[in-house]
């Protein structure tokens, strides 16, 4: 029997013209009104990462944009623009999780206290999300607290605080590695009303990411908001193929798709035609997302065993 078993791996792109996200956005707007009034769907997130501020050397991540002439970096008035790496661990080579982009300025005459105006952009979610910090950073203190004053995307209406703790500082160059713990309260996730929202889709599957790319099939089926606490979809779909030896064959997917994760895995539970008795998995990654229209292009790698 085993000799009839074949293993097929292919990549395809799923172009998703969706009103689904519009629906969610619409609900988000309503939800906010509700949240302000009742404060019930608020959620708390905790983010932990390390911030690398490289002031000296050949590849600094900051540039001085204003300040008194002939001054040291720590002098009152000096203002720096930073594009600093945020990593998972304390080493600069550790996994990149985002960037800290914005400015900090020496805002105290008799102290080492910075005015921080920064956005932390995170890469770990499929849609780029950022949170905004505006606060005072007394860098010589062991622990500093700064307010999170807002955010976008999933962090829209974020409110919270960041705790910063310097792990290492080189006083000759000014380079520093700072540990951040960020606690964030934000009104997110589907409300009780959007929970259960169910859509029928008939989306094109193409060879490449462009809409004009060669059509190889269609994704036909249902996706539904099946989680009350995050944006996790129940996906029940068939990928019906239209080209070459796969023409007329289909694969069936039944799985969970937490769309804000960078890569999602869903089981292939069956198939027809050349994919009879198929078993496998699909890896999905959002490569394009338009927040206004809700249209998305999703890359799929599908690996299946079949007879």
Cα–Cα dist 48/75, whole Å: 30
203 in Cβ contact with 219 (< 8 Å): yes
232 in Cβ contact with 209 (< 8 Å): no
Q: How far is the CB of 296 from ligand NAG (least distance, A)?
A: 13
Cα–Cα dist 76/110, whole Å: 8
Q: Between 217 and 221, whose beta carbon lies closer to ligand NAG?
A: 217
Three-class secondary structure of residue 123 per DSSP: coil
Candidate ranges 49-57, 102-110, 183-191, 280-288; the one touching ligand NAG (CB under 6 A): 280-288
Q: How far is the CB of 222 from ligand NAG (least distance, A)?
A: 22
Q: How far is the CB of 217 from ligand NAG (least distance, A)?
A: 10
Structure tokens at 130: 């950022």
Per CB under 6 A, contacts with ligand NAG among 7-66 are: 11
Q: How far is the CB of 100 from ligand NAG (least distance, A)?
A: 26
Cα–Cα dist 84/120, whole Å: 9
Q: Exactly one of 185, 193, 256, 285 binds ligand NAG (CB under 6 A); which one? A: 285
Task: Using CB under 6 A, count the residues that bind ligand NAG.
Answer: 11
- Using rule CB under 6 A, residue 272 touches ligand NAG: no
Q: How far is the CB of 180 from ligand NAG (least distance, A)?
A: 28
Q: Between 65 and 263, whose beta carbon lies closer to ligand NAG?
A: 263
Q: Between 190 and 271, whose beta carbon lies closer to ligand NAG?
A: 271
- Using rule CB under 6 A, residue 293 touches ligand NAG: no
Q: What is the contact mask toward ligand NAG in residues 237 to 266, using x (rule: CB under 6 A)?
A: -----xx---xx--------------x---
CA 284 to chain centre: 14
127-135: long-range pairs with CB below 8 Å, 24+? 127/153, 127/154, 127/260, 127/286, 127/289, 127/291, 128/153, 129/153, 129/154, 129/155, 130/155, 131/155, 131/158, 131/160, 131/182, 131/184, 132/158, 133/102, 133/162, 135/162
Q: How many helices (H) and strands (E) does the chain have?
A: 1, 17
Q: How far is the CB of 230 from ligand NAG (least distance, A)?
A: 20
Residues that bind ligand NAG (CB under 6 A): 11, 242-243, 247-248, 263, 283-285, 299, 301
């Amino acid at each position: 029997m085993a000799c009839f078993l074949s293993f097929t791996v292919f990549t395809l792109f799923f172009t998703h013209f969706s009103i689904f996200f519009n629906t969610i956005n619409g609900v988000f707007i309503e939800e906010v009104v509700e949240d302000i009034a009742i404060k019930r769907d608020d959620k708390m997130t905790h983010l932990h990462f390390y911030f690398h501020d490289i002031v000296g050397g050949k590849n600094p991540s900051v540039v001085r944009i204003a300040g008194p002439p002939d001054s040291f970096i720590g002098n009152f008035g000096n203002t720096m623009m930073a594009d600093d790496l945020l990593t998972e661990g304390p080493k600069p080579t550790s996994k990149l999780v985002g960037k800290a982009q914005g400015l900090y300025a020496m805002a105290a005459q008799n102290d080492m206290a910075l005015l921080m105006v920064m956005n932390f952009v995170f890469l770990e979610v499929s849609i780029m999300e950022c949170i905004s910090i505006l606060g005072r950073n007394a860098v010589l203190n062991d622990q500093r607290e700064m307010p999170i004053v807002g955010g976008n995307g999933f962090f829209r209406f974020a409110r919270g605080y960041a705790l910063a703790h310097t792990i290492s500082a080189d006083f000759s160059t000014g380079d520093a590695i700072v540990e951040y713990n960020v606690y964030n309260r934000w009104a997110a996730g589907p409300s009780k009303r959007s929970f259960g929202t169910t859509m029928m889709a008939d989306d094109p599957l193409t060879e490449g990411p462009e809409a004009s790319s060669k059509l190889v099939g269609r994704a036909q089926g249902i996706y539904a908001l099946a989680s009350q606490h995050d944006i996790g979809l129940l996906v029940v779909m068939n990928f019906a193929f239209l080209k070459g030896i796969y023409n007329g064959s289909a694969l069936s997917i039944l799985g969970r798709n937490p769309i804000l994760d960078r890569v999602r895995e869903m089981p292939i539970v069956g198939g027809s035609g050349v994919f009879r008795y198929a078993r496998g998995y699909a890896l999905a990654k959002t490569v394009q997302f338009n927040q206004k229209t809700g249209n998305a292009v999703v890359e799929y790698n599908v690996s299946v065993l079949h007879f």
